[in-house]
Structure 1
Amino acid sequence: MLRMTKEKLDVIIFGATGFTGKYTVFEAASVLGNLRWGIAGRNQAKLQSILEEMGAKAKQNLMDTPIVIADVGNEASLLAMAQRCRVLVNCCGPYRFFGEPVVRACIEAGTHHVDVTGETQFMESMQLKYHAKAQERNTYIVSGCGFDSIPSEIGILYAEKNFDGTINSVETYLKTVRKRSPKSAGIHYGTWESLIHAIGHLHELKDIRPKLFSEKLPKFQPKAQRRPPIFKSEVVDRVCLPFPGPDSAVAARTQRFRYQFERKRPAQVNSFVAFGSWIEAIIVGFMAIVYGIMAQFSFTRKLLLDYPRLFTFGFVSHEGPSEIVMNNTHFSFTIKALGWAKSSNLAEPTDQYKDAPNKSVVVKVSGTNPGYGATCVALLSTAVTILKESDKMPSTGGVLTPGAAFAKTSIIEELQKHEHGLKFEVLNK
């Protein structure tokens, strides 16, 4: 029997009937352990069905899990939902359309908020609009808590912990190995929709960033190695392209925060995606250019959104990938940090080094099912970390990146505890 009590919960998963949301419910059965958690959405019958389906999959009876009815079109219901929990796990995207009312409700309720968006404009506009308000409420609003950008962000923190010196630059390399049946897609339509809108509205950042980053950082030397648009990397021995996701932008915000509030010298971060051959990289690069151009215009953007299977050769679908495909998709982030040994440390973070970098560390973060397995575990792990270790997080609250929010917590250990979590290892030190 469903519990409709009004008890204060530790966590509520909002958007639980969506593709990512339902797998978050599945992972919650193990990741959230003894915490008090519930699910939320618009349709009680569908929410109950998700509990039945994911409970059977997890081999647990989830039917006593509290259900909360909330709709992004009804701000009163969002506020009531936020007031019911300590951390809201928001799986309701695309966030450019549905995210802001939820963030606003959480801040008003004094409830922490985590989500899995990879939409740079949304993340930076939320920081611009609500950072001060979140600080006033001592509330954490942390976006990018899934595949974008937890492996990269926490991987950089892991490299830093193993560096024992000062980092000048970081390169991250994403490699995926996917065994896909011709009848199965690779990603769900919701992920594709968010991506296309993010690419199509990149111009919005020109208005956001001058206001958000009004104070310029010092120019640190030496500059990070300049890579061509396509190149063979000696770090991963693969052909690489710039990573089109938000990782570099999120990392830049993290580095700025830690410089301003922790007096830590910021590292220059560049993100790449690795391919097995020149041909594969060239084809993907060409398609990325085509999608980028089409996403700029409303008519062609609509074509991409209306006919995802056609334009991605079946890689995107409304049904999403099969569980067999998801569980046979493996990924790794190889992260190289370059800088100076501890003996070369300077007195102030604004000081410049006169000698060239003399130390490097290479680490790797890996896992399976990046979009809907590792992502859900990472998302829930951030919620658990907020609940258990808020005293190790920035005391002011605010709209933060994962790297800024969790730098001093034990999130690395939390992410490694779970079956579909992340593995961290040092490759070269």
Structure 2
Amino acid sequence: MTARPYQLVIFGASGFTGQFVVEEVARVADGVEFRDQGLRWAVAGRSRKKLEDVLQWAADRLAKPHLKSIDIIICDINDAASLAEMCKKASVVLDCVGPYRFFGEPVVKACVENGTHFIDISGEAQFLESMYVTYDSQAADKGAYVIGSCGFDSIPADMGVLFTRNSIQGTLTSVESFLSLKSGPEGTCLHDGTWQSAIHVVADRSNLRKLRKQLAFKPLPVVGKRLKKRGLLFYSNEVKQYSIPFLGSDYSVVKRTQRYLYENLKETPVQYSAYAAVGGLLSVIKLMFAGFFFLLFTTFSFGRSLLIKYPTFFTFGYLSKEGPTQKQMDESSFSMTFFGEGYTQVQDSQLRKPNIKICTQVSGPEIGYVTTPIAMVQAAVTILKEPDSLPKRGGVYTPGAAFSKTKLIERLNKHGLHFTVISRSEN
């Protein structure tokens, strides 16, 4: 790719998540990796005033007055020409404008047509998979990498499975992950943009099933012991908490990664299941009530309107239109624990039970506005700094497929996320 005015452009920089991505890019730009040549970056969106305000906000928080002079690009999601002009100026666009099912495709289209790399933080499986169907071939022709779900959904899960695989002496064949969220006395909170995405994902799940029928992928081969199915609610002896299947896009993202690694790199596919630990009985009761109303109200338009209008009420305060306070963010963290099984030699998988067990963990700060910006920005930096380690052709990729041969995990370890091996055993 020929040199462009900006290496990174943050689209939607004045949004709730976008402002924290601006802050993270500013930190990275002044870090060791860009100390010699600098990082050329800009912010983009509809309102110059709002973009100026977010640059002022970041300048004040980081005590970096020079941020106020960062370049601004005016463009609108409904103006294809303005999106094209933005993409022509950027090597990588970091798209922070969701819900992506409504606002993501115009940006993907503009990036692909102009040979610009694209990164988003979507947790919307239908959007992610439909972009693969629509743009993979064209992106390959243009040499553009379109990499979705590069935030909390689903960098920890996808890269965590690869970290687990790379941490054993043998062949990993199955992994279960358990997500645990921690908060301080004031609890945890997310901005309601995440809530709106979830509402529309559940309401439109029938179209996702149709899309997957259209893809008609052959099932991946199961190597070794088949991963057991869990219930909708169960007590996990692994994490000593009641747990439920994780409702985000992690499972579908990891499965797409494993398909790519199997079909293109001839690597053994890893079975995967994703769960969320919900705590004790009181948490289970709250979850049951919230889940009942959520599923009921998402089935009709008036119910969806109520869910969107009153996020705090329907989520017991976990989501709000204002988002979390700084104190809530500072006191929040997550851990995702992976329990894997495998074999010292892959041929043993046909003869006996797994003889390797491994437990790893990915942990980090608050998920939505600290971990997500870190993951998104480091994914973008990896594209800039390690082009020779990316897949040989452009296309639409998951994080694990795009970054399996890169040093992304090392980068994340240096910027606040931690990939660790808890235990390993071999029979």
1:150 corresponds to 2:155: yes
Q: CA deviation at 1:153?
A: 0.9
Secondary structure of 2:70's match?
A: coil
1:181 corresponds to 2:208: no
Secondary structure of 1:152's match?
A: helix
Q: CA deviation at 1:180?
A: 5.1
Q: CA deviation at 1:7?
A: 6.1
Matches within 5 A, 1:165-204: 165-179=170-184, 181=186, 186-204=189-207
Distance 1:228 1:327 in 2: 34
Q: What is the aligned counterpart of 2:114 among 106, 109, 117?
A: 109
Distance 2:189 2:56 in 1: 26
Q: What is the aligned counterpart of 2:309 among 306, 311, 315?
A: 306
CA displacement 1:126-159 (0-9 Å, x = unmatched): 0111111111111110111011101111111111
1:122 corresponds to 2:119: no
Classify 1:256/1:352 alpha carbon distance in 2 versus 1 (closer, same or farther; 3 Å): same
TM-score of the superposed pair, with normalisation by structure 1: 0.93
Q: What is the aligned counterpart of 2:39 among 22, 35, 38?
A: 35
5+ residue gaps, structure 1, are 1-5
Q: What is the aligned counterpart of 2:58 among 54, 67, 85?
A: 54
Q: What is the aligned counterpart of 2:372 among 371, 375, 388?
A: 375
Q: CA deviation at 1:72?
A: 0.3
Residues 308 and 317 in structure 1, CA contact (< 8 A), matched pair in contact too: yes
Distance 1:98 1:32 in 2: 28
Aligned residues: 414
Query: What amino acid sits opposite 2:211 in the alignment?
Result: I
Query: What amino acid sits opposite 1:73 in the alignment?
Result: N
Distance 1:280 1:266 in 2: 35
Q: CA deviation at 1:214?
A: 3.4
Distance 1:423 1:231 in 2: 28
Residues 11 and 85 in structure 1, CA contact (< 8 A), matched pair in contact too: yes
Q: CA deviation at 1:221?
A: 4.3
Residues 121 and 153 in structure 2, CA contact (< 8 A), matched pair in contact too: yes
Secondary structure of 1:63's match?
A: helix
TM-score of the superposed pair, with normalisation by structure 2: 0.93
Query: What amino acid sits opposite 2:232 in the alignment?
Result: P
Distance 2:192 2:230 in 1: 32
1:331 corresponds to 2:334: yes
**RMSD, aligned α-carbons:** 1.7
- Which residue of structure 2 lines up, in the alignment, with residue 358 of structure 1? 355
Matches within 5 A, 1:220-299: 220-299=223-302
CA displacement 1:398-423 (0-9 Å, x = unmatched): 111011111110001111222xx201
CA displacement 1:243-266 (0-9 Å, x = unmatched): 111111111111111111011121
Q: CA deviation at 1:352?
A: 5.9
Residues 241 and 285 in structure 1, CA contact (< 8 A), matched pair in contact too: no
Q: CA deviation at 1:234?
A: 2.4
Residues 173 and 335 in structure 1, CA contact (< 8 A), matched pair in contact too: yes
5+ residue gaps, structure 2, are 31-37
Distance 1:39 1:7 in 2: 15
CA displacement 1:382-405 (0-9 Å, x = unmatched): 000011112111111211101111
Q: Percent identity?
A: 40
Query: What amino acid sits opposite 1:25 in the alignment?
Result: V
CA displacement 1:248-301 (0-9 Å, x = unmatched): 111111111111101112111100111331331343144223312321221211
Q: What is the aligned counterpart of 1:410 among 394, 407, 412?
A: 407
Q: CA deviation at 1:336?
A: 1.1
